[in-house]
Copies of this chain bind each other. A is one copy, B any other.
Amino acid sequence: MNKYSDYLDYCKKIHDINMSIAVLNWDLETKMPKNGHKFRAQQISTLRKISHELSTNKSYGDLLNKLKNNNALDFDQLRNIDVSLKKYNKTLKYDANFIEKESNLISEAFVKWRLAKEKNDFSIFEKSLEQLIQLRIKECEILGYKNHPYDALLDQYEPDLTTHEVDKIFKEIKDFLIPFIKKISNAKEIDDSFFYQHYNQKKQWDFGIDLLKGMDYDFNSGRQDLSAHPFSTHFSNEDARVTTRIDENNLSEMIWSCVHEGGHALYEQGLLSKNYGLPLGESISLGIHESQSRLWENNVGRSMEYWKYNYNKLKKYFEKQLINVSVNDFYKACNKVKPSLIRTNADELTYHLHILIRYEIEKGLIESSIKVQDLPKIWNKKYQEYLGITVPSDSMGVLQDIHWSHGSFGYFPTYTIGSLYAAQFFTQALYENEKLYDEISTGNNNNLLKWLREKIHKHGKKYSAQDLCLKVTGEKLNFNFFKKYAINKYTSMYDL
């Protein structure tokens, strides 16, 4: 290997294997018969090992190091090399021992977490979690960091973002959201009870497909299926899929999962075929990915304009259930703010307090200022303090989420970062197209999608998240866009 074309071939080969793993996982989550698990796990593990071997091959590293100083390459080519080399150097830091230990700890932790949650007994999970955190602390040392060990974890999900910056953002969130939500809690409660009538599964499914089509999600390059937990995945920009879950006694779950996962998939469909397998053909970061799902879910999907168009369609499916519900009632119910226990069901404001709590705890665990044994106590205290909620059991509190048992630390903040980017991008889109809301209210989302493709999707990893944000909106990530959006929307809705 000594030419840029060798790099292209090699990089695409690794990508082909990773995308094959994604197909195996998609099948596992959506179609695989019950007994398929054991050998499927083995097949995925084998492909992962091959991918890892190729990714850490010395002659690949030599090639990257040689090419990074090649003046004959253009900006895009050098950026590909640059991102690949960063990834290569990072992957090299993990030895086989670490990978094996991690894999064993996670397997064990998952079993323990599930049991602990079932029995409502945190102590069952405690030791496993402690070991996982020690492993992550060790990982921070392996990877290296400038100021805070948590930087090293963050960088895996949101490259270049620092704990210092996240601290600043969550300080702003705290200062604004806690009193704002308190104010809303004191206002008249919105009635959303009509969401919880019986809604036929097949009709819900059909309406969800309508919503995806309305977003210009391309069913020739994607599909939707059912799965236990909604997700989006992709095997190329020409095959980017979504899944949803349907609860016959709760209409909202299907709606928001369709629009949310649809937003993720539109990003993948908007990447360029010619960059398949290369950094320029990949999304930038989890935060930017989440910005695309949140933009469609919240800024578009929870807007009055969106339902001006879609509510009549919905009413045709569920005439009986919605007969006495006006579009304004519906819009309000979509945006009802109410502190609750479970993150995944939270509204778009209280959601960030859930993330805040997790972020503060994760940081404390990684810097060893919080002890695992104190977690339930700390969790419950923060829920009381930030959300005014009394946690009735650890199962519904500190044990509710699967993430920590999977060993995922540093991931949660990207959920919030994504929402902030979403508000900032959407503000810019409105600024550049004064008819945008009019278009949305007639079911025409095409100009919005074109804008997202042109400004964000097509670039892949050409720019860092922060540089892209600067390029698109004229400034770096700024909490004020979200704040302004929230004040505008909720002040009038709740007559604050």
Which residues from chain A sit less than 8 Å from chain B, CB to CB? 12-13, 16-17, 19-20, 23-24, 26-27, 31-36, 38-40, 42-43, 45-47, 50, 218-223, 225, 235-236, 238-239, 241, 273, 276
The complex places the Cα of A13 from the Cα of B44 at a distance, in Å, of 11
| Nearest B residue (CB) for A269 | B35
Partner of A33, one of B23, B24, B223: B223
B36 A236 Cβ-Cβ under 8 A: yes
**CB-CB under 8 A for A38 and B223, given A13-B46, A19-B43:** no
Q: Of the candidates B24, B31, B276, which one forms a contact with A39 in the assembled complex, judged by CB atoms under 8 Å apart?
A: B276
In the complex the two chains form, is B220's CB within 8 Å of A34's CB?
Answer: yes
Contacts of A32 in B (CB 8 A): 239
**Complex formed: what's the CA distance from A241 to B38 in Å?**
16
State whether A19 and B31 are in contact (beta carbons under 8 Å apart), knowing that A13-B46, A46-B13, A50-B50 are contacts in the complex.
no
Q: Which residues of B contact A42 (CB under 8 A)?
A: 12, 16
Whether B236 and A39, one on each chain, are in contact in the complex, defined by CB atoms closer than 8 angstroms, is: yes
When the two chains form their complex, are residues A16 and B238 in contact, meaning their CB atoms are under 8 A apart? no
Inter-subunit contact A20/B20 (CB<8 Å):
yes
Identical chains in the assembly: 2
Return the chain B residue nearest A22 by Cβ: B43
Give the distance in Å from the alpha carbon of A34 to the alpha carbon of B236 in the complex. 12
Which residues on the B side are within 8 Å of A221 (C-beta)? 33-36
Q: Which of A36, A43, A235 has the most CB of B within 10 A?
A: A43
A273: chain B residues at CB < 8 Å are 38
For A42, A219, A241, the residue with the greatest tally of chain B CB atoms inside 10 Å of its CB is A42
- Once the chains are docked, how many angstroms separate the CA of A40 from the CA of B236? 8
Alpha-carbon separation in the docked complex, A47 to B13 (Å): 9
Distance between Cα atoms of A221 and B32 in the complex (Å): 8
C-alpha gap A232/B103 in the complex (Å): 34
A24 contacts which chain B residues (CB < 8 A)? 20, 23
Cα(A31)–Cα(B23), bound, Å: 11
- 16 residue pairs from A and B, CB less than 8 Å apart: A12-B46, A16-B42, A16-B45, A16-B46, A17-B50, A20-B46, A20-B47, A23-B43, A26-B27, A31-B225, A33-B221, A33-B222, A34-B221, A35-B239, A36-B221, A36-B239
Q: Give Cα A273–Cα B36 distance, bound, in whole angstroms.
A: 11
